[in-house]
Structure formats: structure tokens, C-alpha cells
């Protein structure tokens, strides 16, 4: 019996030839990522357990990316950034992307990719559930809490229960109006918010492999919304081109064997996919966009690790160019690199930034912003009964701030089309 | 007593994640805001509209949480099990857990996340008096004299027994 990509990576990091799903193993960690929300708690547990003067297991393997509560006057949030700074200085950590400096990046999951920390075949843990995003690079990556992160800081190891794999295959070609967000919302709708609990969501098929790295990251980002332990897409030439432009470090490429064992396999016809939303208040509350065309919205929000990448904004700009939005529309680039792309890359002779400004959108600075509500003064946060169409990844009650607000998760195309009409709108109405 | 899919934003809304988890005074705020994101009609089933922590208080009058399936889904924030412990919770019994919450509860040694194969939702009411027997793996509702099974802890049993992941690793000679 062969092995899946995930099983091969975990076996290699546990020093074993073979592992079986359900088995508990200890793996060597290649990268530990933390941020401003969970970093301070992690550091405090690390010091409590390993001593005030303890040193991290390998300073080259720690990446700290403040991104959640950056542009706020909240004194506790700002204090947490100071704790990160102090730790980085004390441990002399090379990979820290400090707020208020040219090094500042923004949302950790995209920053990891853009700064060359995502490498095929590696094991990456992060104190954020959307760490599964990095699986787009053919690596094992998953979210953990402060205690596990502190354990890694001290030892470079963590226990893992080997997950069973689920394979989602898309054959053929996606229609032009379909984005990766439509696909992940479709699949989560099909399997439910706990349909992949403690399992791997492996994506395959020529339609998936035709996606850009940005779109692959969108797919893998929301594995956690299906309960998944990790997501993975095997590395190919698209992956290697992206990786080689950003790091010189070596990596290993793994492929799933033809006779690997899967808990579940499903094949979809890519050409049959339709634009999808997740209605309030759960990411698996799936509906076709065209079935929701009578839902009036107060706000459109395009941003976050899953919906604030260059390709997301290019899609939105395609629809917004030369038009005016009908509702408050927030544009939040995930990272400073994406912000620079908005300033420099053009469509029909105009920069994306100018297209958004001319359309009447509000532009925020790179960070997690209102994706998870945050302090009261967070850009784009809901405070009342707003109905929002958003390219983010969660629509649990209160996720974007107010418990009374209602969030529809959607692709950047759908969010932009809806921004123009003031109701949930199928992008095909605009693209034809 | 709560329903299915109680996510971490309901357990502790993200705006409160700014407080220190190590400062004894500041961390009390996590108790104050525990479960403050649960919509009113879902808080304290079957009736609903019950506050987990009274206004102005930092501890709950309840010590056991009963949840449905996929308890603790969403974010990896360890503030979620931490806030429940700070509020005075000693055990959770759910149909199933999201795995990061489950790991965090065990590795951090906050409380034991028990699972039960039995239908708890229609047989326990908020405010009932419960006894958990860890040795026999049973839950007794003293208010209605119902008994329920608890699942064995499986692969995490040794970590639970040791107290947390650090104590487990020390016993095993890893650190």
C-alpha cells in the first residue's frame, strides 16, 4: 500500500519509513510561525517551562509576523507588539516583520509565502488556524495553540496524530467566472464544517493544477472551515517558480502514490461549477449566488489571507473599473507587497488602486483588519446590523465585530458584483 | 448546556484577545468575557437566554459545559480553553470537538475534554447537578438520575494523566 503526500512528509520528519493514519508520532519542525495575538502567550509559557534565560531551539526556524491588531489605539494590543519586539531582540531572531518599519508585511499566511518560508516537503506549525494555507506549497502545515508553540520553541518537536486523507479532484476547466473561493465554499457545503475533522484535504486534478499559487492558497486556507487538520496540493512547476523567486533553501517534493489509501475520494466536473456563497452564520451554509439575488447588502469587504491577494483584487478590479459602488466597499490588501501591487499594476491603463478609488471604495492598510472583528476602531469592522458580502473565511456570529451583523462569504468576483448593485449578485450578470 | 458548532469566536470574541494570559489581574478579563459571543437564544439550553457569567463578575456559577458536535471549531486561539478555565470550568463533555481546541485543552492541561456517544442535548438541562466518574468513564445527571457513557481518552490519555504536554515530556525523558 502506497502513501499520500502528507503521510510521506510526516514519516520523513518522524524518522520513519512508514506511518499509518491514526498513529501518534513526534515530528521535527522546520518552521514555527507566531503573531501578535498568540505570540505573547507562547513566549510566556516558553519562559515558564524552559526558564527565563532559555534559548529557542533554532533561531533560523522561528518566524514572527505581527498582523492582527496593528492599526489600533488599543493599549493592550500595542503592548503585545512590544512583547514580540523584546523577545526577538533577546533571542536575536532573524525573521521578524516589525510594525512601523519597512519590514512590516501584514497577514502572516501570505507573508510566509511571499518571504520564502513556505517550501515543499517541510513541516510548518503556526499559532493560527489558517496556517493550513501553506499546504498549497506541497508541505504539511497546521494551526496550533500557545502551549504547543511554546513546546516547539523549546524542543523543535511536536506530537501529531497522522491524519487520514480525503481527495478532492476537479477535472476539466473552470469557467472564467469561477474562483477558488467558489470551489472551497462548494466543498465545505458538501462535507459540512466537521466533514474533514482531523483529516487531510488533498486537492488534485488538472483544473486545480491550473490555479495560480494565490488561488491554491485560497483553497487550502479554508480546510480548517471543514475541520481539516491540513490541506495539501502537490508541488509542480507553478509552485517551484514561486518558491525559487523567494528562497534559495533546499526542499523536497513528494507525490501521493497511485495506490495510496484515502478515507474518501470525490471527483467534480470543473466546468459545472457555479458561483457560491456561504450564508450566515456558518461556512457550510451553502447557496448558489443566483439563488440569493434578492438579499440586499450594506457592505462589501474584499480582504484577508484568503481574499486579499493580488489575484483577488485583479478580479474585483475587472468588475469595478469605470463604475461606482452602491454600498460601502472596503479594500484591505493582505500584505504590503499586495498594496504595492495595487499601486503599480495596471488594468486598462489604470492602477488597481485608482480603479478602486474611482469606484468609491475605501482602502485600508495591510493587516487582518475586520476579518475577525478586532478592537472597536478596526477598519471595516461591523458595529450593528450590517449585511456584508465578504471574501473572508468565517461568518460565525459576531466574527466581523457585531453579533447582529450578517456575513455572506463569497468570491472577489461576487463581492465586487454585489458592491455595484447593493444586493448579492452573480458575477455572470456583470461579466457577460 | 450549548448546541452544535460552538466556535472560538463565540467562546471568546476576538476583540478580547488582547489581554495578558499570564498577568493574574489582567487575565481575569477572560473569565468576564467567556462565552460572551454566544447568541442569547443559544446560551443555556434548552430555555436559552442564560448568562454564563453574570454582569460585573469574573467567574461563572457553572463548572461543567455540555456541548454538541464540533465544539471549539474555528480559530487556534488557546485563549478559548484558557478563558473557560479562568471562568471556573472544570470539565467539558461534547459529542465531538474541533481538533485544535481538543489539543489545546489537553496539551495545556486546562481541563479534560470528554466525549460522549450518548444524546446529552435532550437529557440535560442547564443548572442540572452532574457527577463525572473518570475511573469508570461515566457521567451521571443527579437531577434526573440518568447515566451516560464517556469515550475513552485514547492517544491523549497519558498527557492527561501527566497534567500537560510539558509534564508528559519530562516523564518520558524528552526534556
Domain boundaries, chain B: 8-127
What is the ipTM, given to two decimal places? Answer: 0.97
CA distances, A206 to each of A211, A270, A273, A320, A402 (Å): 9, 9, 15, 30, 41
Question: Looking up cell 470550568, which residue turns up?
Answer: B89
A-chain residues near B165 (CB < 8 A): 147-148, 151, 159
Q: Is residue A273 part of a domain?
A: no
The rounded mean pLDDT for chain A is 97
Instruction: Tell which of A233, A268, A303 closes a domain.
Output: A268
> Nearest residue of A to residue B17 by CA position?
A37
Residue A106, pLDDT above cutoff 70: yes
Q: Determine the CATH number of domain B8-127.
A: 3.20.19.10
Ranges of chain B with pLDDT below 70: none
On whether both A224 and A107 belong to a single domain, the answer is: yes
Query: Do A246 and A304 lie in a common domain?
Result: no
Distance of CA A16 to the CA centre of its chain: 30
Domain boundary pick from A235, A268, A301: A268
* A230-232 and A199-204 beta bridge pairing: parallel
For residue A432, the model assigns a pLDDT of 67
- Give the gap in angstroms from C-alpha A143 to the nearest C-alpha of chain B: 6
Cis peptide before B46 (omega within 30 of 0): yes
pLDDT tens across B77-91, in order? Answer: 999 999 999 999 999
Judged by CB atoms closer than 8 Å, whether chains meet at A37 and B98 is answered as no
Return the pLDDT at B122.
Answer: 85
- Chain A contacts of B22, Cβ < 8 Å? 41, 44, 48
pTM: 0.98
Average pLDDT over residues A306-314: 98
Instruction: Looking at the structure, tell me whether residues A176 and A303 fall in a common domain.
Output: no
Judge if A316 and A399 occupy the same domain. Answer: yes
Predicted pLDDT at A431? 85
Kindly list the residues from chain A whose CB atom is less than 8 angstroms away from the CB atom of residue B74.
129, 224, 394, 396
Q: Give the whole-angstrom CA distance, residue A129 versus residue B103.
A: 12
Give the residue-averaged pLDDT of A98-102: 97
Crossing angle of helices B79-86 and B99-107, rounded to 10°: 60
What total number of domains does chain A contain? 2
**Range scoring the smallest mean pLDDT among A88-92, A124-128, A283-287, A427-431:** A427-431
Task: Please tell me which of the candidates A80, A194, A376 has its beta carbon nearest to residue B15.
Answer: A376
Which chain A residue's Cα is nearest to B70?
A194
Order of strands across the sheet that contains B64-67: B64-67, B91-94, B112-115
- Let me know whether A208 and A285 are in one domain: no
- Tell me the chain B residues in contact with residue A126 when contact means C-beta distances shorter than 8 Å: 76
Same domain, A207 and A307: no
Strand partners, A14: none
pLDDT in tens, A258-306: 999 999 999 999 999 999 999 999 999 999 999 999 999 999 999 999 9
Which single residue is written with the C-alpha cell 516589525? A98
pLDDT on residue B164? 98
Instruction: Tell me the residue range of the domain where A33 lies.
Output: 5-250+261-268
**Does the CB of A144 have a partner CB in chain B at under 8 Å?**
yes
Same domain, A12 and A53: yes
pLDDT in tens, A224-251: 999 999 999 999 999 999 999 999 999 9
Please report, for the domain that includes residue A328, its CATH number: 3.30.499.10
Positive/negative CA dihedral, B164, A150, B103, A261: negative
Amino acid at each position: 500500500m502506497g502513501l499520500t503526500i502528507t503521510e510521506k512528509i510526516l514519516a520523513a520528519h518522524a524518522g520513519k519509513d512508514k506511518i499509518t493514519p491514526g498513529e501518534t508520532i513526534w515530528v521535527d519542525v522546520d518552521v514555527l510561525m507566531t503573531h501578535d495575538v498568540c505570540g505573547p502567550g507562547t513566549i510566556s509559557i516558553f519562559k515558564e517551562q524552559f526558564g527565563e534565560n532559555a534559548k529557542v531551539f533554532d533561531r533560523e526556524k522561528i518566524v514572527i509576523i505581527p498582523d492582527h491588531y496593528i492599526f489600533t489605539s488599543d493599549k493592550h494590543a500595542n503592548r503585545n507588539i512590544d512583547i514580540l519586539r523584546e523577545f526577538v531582540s533577546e533571542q536575536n531572531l532573524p525573521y521578524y516583520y516589525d510594525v512601523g518599519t519597512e519590514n512590516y508585511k501584514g497577514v502572516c499566511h501570505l507573508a510566509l509565502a511571499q518571504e520564502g518560508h513556505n517550501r515543499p516537503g517541510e513541516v510548518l506549525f503556526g499559532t493560527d488556524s489558517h496556517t493550513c494555507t501553506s499546504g498549497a506549497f506541497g508541505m504539511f502545515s497546521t494551526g496550533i495553540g500557545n502551549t504547543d508553540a511554546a513546546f516547539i520553541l523549546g524542543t523543535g518537536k511536536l506530537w501529531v496524530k497522522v491524519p487520514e486523507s480525503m481527495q478532492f479532484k476537479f477535472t476539466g476547466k473552470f469557467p472564467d467566472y469561477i474562483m477558488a473561493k467558489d470551489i472551497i465554499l462548494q466543498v465545505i457545503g458538501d462535507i459540512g464544517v466537521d466533514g474533514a475533522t482531523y483529516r487531510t484535504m488533498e486537492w488534485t486534478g488538472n483544473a486545480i493544477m491550473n490555479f495560480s499559487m494565490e488561488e491554491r492558497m485560497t483553497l487550502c486556507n479554508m480546510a480548517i472551515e471543514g475541520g481539516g487538520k491540513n490541506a495539501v496540493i502537490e508541488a509542480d512547476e507553478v509552485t517551484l517558480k514561486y518558491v525559487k523567486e523567494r528562497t534559495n533553501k533546499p526542499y523536497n517534493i513528494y507525490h501521493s502514490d497511485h495506490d495510496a489509501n484515502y478515507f474518501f475520494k470525490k471527483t467534480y466536473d470543473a466546468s459545472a461549477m457555479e458561483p457560491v456563497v456561504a450564508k450566515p452564520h456558518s461556512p457550510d451554509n451553502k447557496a448558489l449566488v443566483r439563488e440569493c439575488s434578492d438579499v440586499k447588502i450594506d457592505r462589501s469587504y474584499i480582504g484577508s489571507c484568503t481574499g486579499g491577494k493580488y489575484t483577488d483584487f485583479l478580479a474585483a478590479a475587472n468588475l469595478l473599473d469605470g463604475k461606482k459602488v452602491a454600498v460601502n466597499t472596503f479594500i484591505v490588501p493582505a500584505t504590503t507587497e499586495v498594496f504595492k501591487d495595487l499601486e503599480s499594476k495596471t488594468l486598462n491603463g489604470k492602477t488597481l488602486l485608482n480603479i478602486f478609488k474611482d469606484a468609491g471604495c475605501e482602502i485600508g492598510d495591510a493587516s487582518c483588519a475586520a476579518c475577525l472583528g478586532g478592537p472597536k476602531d478596526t477598519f471595516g469592522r461591523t458595529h450593528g446590523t450590517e449585511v456584508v458580502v465578504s471574501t473572508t473565511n468565517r461568518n460565525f456570529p459576531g466574527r466581523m465585530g457585531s453579533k447582529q451583523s450578517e456575513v455572506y462569504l463569497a468570491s472577489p468576483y461576487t463581492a465586487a458584483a454585489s458592491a455595484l448593485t447593493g444586493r448579492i449578485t452573480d458575477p455572470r450578470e456583470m461579466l457577460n | 448546556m450549548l448546541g452544535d458548532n460552538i466556535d472560538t469566536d463565540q467562546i471568546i470574541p476576538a476583540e478580547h484577545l488582547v489581554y495578558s494570559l499570564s498577568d493574574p489581574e489582567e487575565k481575569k478579563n477572560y473569565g468576564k468575557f467567556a462565552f460572551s459571543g454566544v447568541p442569547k437564544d443559544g446560551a443555556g439550553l434548552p430555555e436559552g437566554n442564560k448568562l454564563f457569567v453574570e454582569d460585573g463578575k469574573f467567574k461563572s456559577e457553572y463548572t461543567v459545559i455540555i456541548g454538541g458536535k464540533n465544539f471549539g471549531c474555528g480559530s487556534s486561539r488557546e485563549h478559548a480553553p484558557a478563558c473557560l478555565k479562568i471562568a471556573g470550568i472544570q470539565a467539558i463533555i461534547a459529542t465531538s470537538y474541533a481538533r485544535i481546541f481538543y489539543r489545546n485543552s489537553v496539551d495545556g492541561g486546562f481541563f479534560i475534554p470528554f466525549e460522549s456517544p450518548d444524546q446529552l442535548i435532550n437529557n440535560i438541562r442547564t443548572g442540572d447537578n452532574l457527577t463525572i466518574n473518570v475511573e469508570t468513564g461515566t457521567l451521571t445527571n443527579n437531577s434526573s438520575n440518568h447515566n451516560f457513557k464517556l469515550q475513552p481518552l485514547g492517544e491523549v490519555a497519558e498527557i492527561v494523566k501527566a497534567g500537560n504536554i510539558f509534564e508528559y515530556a519530562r516523564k518520558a525523558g524528552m526534556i
